[in-house]
Chains A and B, each alone.
Chain A
């Protein structure tokens, strides 16, 4: 199974990178950009066919290493047939 682990800074935590990217987008003429938050996406192939197990182990990995719970939240998405579940194509 392939699991996508999305790690984002918690709401309210200052994101200097996101702010710089928003500024750059404004300079490129995208005046409609109201806010940008930068995050990280990990695509992890877990050696199992059990979705529950894949999510469980991914959740553990996210809490131990992939995200720092002091400043970041994480979200798990199961990727199926090329399109990640729960994400609109």
Chain B
């Protein structure tokens, strides 16, 4: 990153967010980013290069996960930013909020096993068309933790077919060897989907926690690859 300014990252903090500091730390450590924490009732994002909607239980997950958060004042700014092509990463609860807000297709159901699942999972990179996966190889298998009760992503058949045709499935749950099948999918999501993007590819949501997989000491650094990919993409775009 010689000569270039540090990326600016806005981390949105809803009442009930609990991975906001982890996301900020990952952005500082991996991206050397200038991080601004933006409250749910604020509107100024601070001209960021990336907005992260972190994990947690915004508004207690009342009604449906993400249903209340979507109407926060800050979400108007996030929607505008995303509409202008700005990079948005929704992690876990952040993914749920993006779906509720209609920024990503589909919706979340209760995990098929009805249990809150907290463990490491394996993800296969299915698409390189997002800034978070552009510098990762398609087919690479990443290990990251999950911790959620409502991660059973689903969509109407017509919507899902459209998603497939536009290469919007970014991550799928797989077994450690990278193949799909029994034991790979922790929550029953449609077609093992773990993360998706919008048509343009600038908005990405995933249930697993890349920000919790950025240090060897904490069990692995595969999550950092998403942030590094974002940095590489950003540099390439600035150089272009």
A residues in contact (CB < 8 Å) with B: 9, 13-17, 20, 65-66, 68, 70-71
Contacts and interface: CB of A to CB of B under 8 A. Distances in A.
Given A20-B114, A65-B67, A13 B154 contact: yes
B110 A16 contact: yes
Contact of B109 (A20, A66, A71): A71
Contacts of B107: 68, 70-71
Interface residues of B, number: 21
A68 B110 CA distance: 14
B113 interface: yes
Interface of B: 63-64, 67, 71, 99-100, 105-107, 109-114, 152, 154-156, 159, 188
B152 A16 contact: yes
B114 A16 contact: yes
A16 to B, nearest CB: 5
A70 B113 contact: no
Given A70-B156, A71-B107, A16 B63 contact: no
A14 B112 contact: yes
B110 A65 contact: no
Given A13-B154, A14-B154, A65-B63, A70 B106 contact: yes
Nearest to A71: B107
A27 to B, nearest CB: 15
